[in-house]
Structure 1
């Protein structure tokens, strides 16, 4: 009996000890979070003490973030215009001269059923000659011809999903195998130039983003360096009473955090403001071409990238600056 009682007491004591340890771990984690929250609010308060210098730094970061983001949004709008332009690429199928109109119409109908083709226009030999007579200015000379030398033509408009140069070339090769087709022609050079310019634009955005990201790192790093120098005596005293480098580093890291977040917000506002200024002229130009195109703004991915990019650059710049300059400050 006494032995069983002793075992029960040990189990109860062990259970109470486990609960105490669990509560201790929970309370320690809560204290850890509270300290970080206090430091975060303290860093924001330090920035609010110097509103003008803070605004200048945040504005520089915001402009640096807004430039590549704005170009990215404009490039997406240009891409929307180009992919939505059905006549961006046309394939002309010149049929054999002896092809009957009924055979040409049947071929056009079969091609319209293909998923990669948006529409097919049939131009008869007579229509082609009449158009050539009007545009060329050789109307009287053409009357001397014994027969019409122009063949019937099928003008094919590929679907939007088939506007890629590789897909277009594959489509042309397939159409060329038709027995009624004498020549299949596609202005691939124009399409390749178009996509080449788009690729240059995309790479230009990444190059500009990289250069401006380096500029943001330097701006944040220099700002944190000045803050460390201004609080040198405070840092020395903190180290003398036993403060660790991690404890001293924390408020400076949160300062970089706030610089990055506020810079991302300013960058997003600048992008939206620039698009708002451009929206009116762009809408007027689209109206002249009977288009319903409207300039699109920054989406959630772009906004999130601005905030996350600003946060990452702010933390990275402050971490590099603190890691370099904090080691140079030691009590003497």
Structure 2
């Protein structure tokens, strides 16, 4: 085990010396990887921020459960007990019929309602499920329709379904873009490692004559590709951060026009680690393919 760690540390040192020995080439490669990865990374981050902005502007989607006009206090209490025991529920509030009438009068319908002899509105519960999955909304609404003394259930999730469909389409497009750019970055690393192998052909031949094993020879190339990709991932994070800073104020002004308070957020540590790890994997993958393709003939 100690020997295994020593061999990898030696390979890392060799790869770092190669990177430092050609600063311009290392910088250009990191810029290519970073700028390419910043496109899908920034796009995915933008979708998450847009989702938060839309939720803030449109409000929380809700389900309205209207009781029968003949429902009494025991029926209301029974429905409330069901809601308290509902695990998919985030919150609920009870709207008595008198309060509903006052809300309609405040909305400018007082003249119309003034001609009525009695309050025609039923008691109602307004409930908010956990999350915004349309399937959760539909399932909870269907179960509420079967509760006693429930006359009508109004599902306010049409905009949620459209939002999920739009965001899902955007995320699919970002993933496709990430796949295409990732494939291109693998090709870039492939060619870089191929040139490394060609320039070290004689050194590799001497090492093989001295008894160096294939894993010993290949290991520095693997680390070279991985470290080069990780540097590109750091450049991608820096590019995304600069983009967030540049768009922060325009996004705040846009949110204010809708009466919302919103700030554009950057990637958290999990997203940052994922970007760097993904870039390092692409670099390692390109190096592995190139080594297996070209080192056999070195």
User: For the superposition of Structure 1 and Structure 2, which TM-score range results when normalised by the shorter chain?
Assistant: 0.7 to 0.9
Residue pairs, 1:1-332, within 5 angstroms? 29-30=2-3, 33-81=5-53, 87-94=59-66, 110=80, 114=84, 116=89, 117-122=91-96, 124-125=100-101, 127-128=103-104, 131=107, 133=109, 151-152=121-122, 154=124, 156-159=126-129, 161=130, 163-177=132-146, 180-329=149-298
Q: How much has 1:321 moved relative to structure 2?
A: 0.3
Q: Work out whether residues 67 and 122 of structure 2, in 8 Å CA contact, stay in contact via their aligned partners in 1.
A: yes
Larger radius of gyration: 1
Q: Work out whether residues 53 and 255 of structure 2, in 8 Å CA contact, stay in contact via their aligned partners in 1.
A: no
Secondary structure at the residue paired with 1:327?
helix
Unaligned runs of 5+ in 1: 1-25
Unaligned runs of 5+ in 2: none
Q: How much has 1:223 moved relative to structure 2?
A: 0.9
Query: CA separation of 1:258/1:112 partners in 2, compared to 1, >3 Å: closer, same or farther?
Result: same
TM-score (norm 2): 0.78
Q: How much has 1:309 moved relative to structure 2?
A: 1.6
TM-score (norm 1): 0.71
Query: CA separation of 1:277/1:153 partners in 2, compared to 1, >3 Å: closer, same or farther?
Result: farther
The one-character-per-residue Cα deviations of 1:149-181 (angstroms, maximum 9, x if unpaired) are: 96457472414x153222222332344345554
Q: Please identify, of 237-246 and 55-64, the stretch whose mean Cα deviation from structure 2 is larger.
A: 237-246
Query: CA separation of 1:126/1:65 partners in 2, compared to 1, >3 Å: closer, same or farther?
Result: closer
Larger relative contact order (Cα-Cα within 8 Å, sequence gap ≥ 6): 2
Q: Work out whether residues 45 and 266 of structure 2, in 8 Å CA contact, stay in contact via their aligned partners in 1.
A: yes
Query: CA separation of 1:33/1:93 partners in 2, compared to 1, >3 Å: closer, same or farther?
Result: closer
Superposition RMSD in Å: 3.7
Q: Distance in 2 between matches of 1:273 and 1:146?
A: 61
Q: Which residue of 2 aligns with 1:5?
A: none
Q: Work out whether residues 129 and 150 of structure 1, in 8 Å CA contact, stay in contact via their aligned partners in 2.
A: no
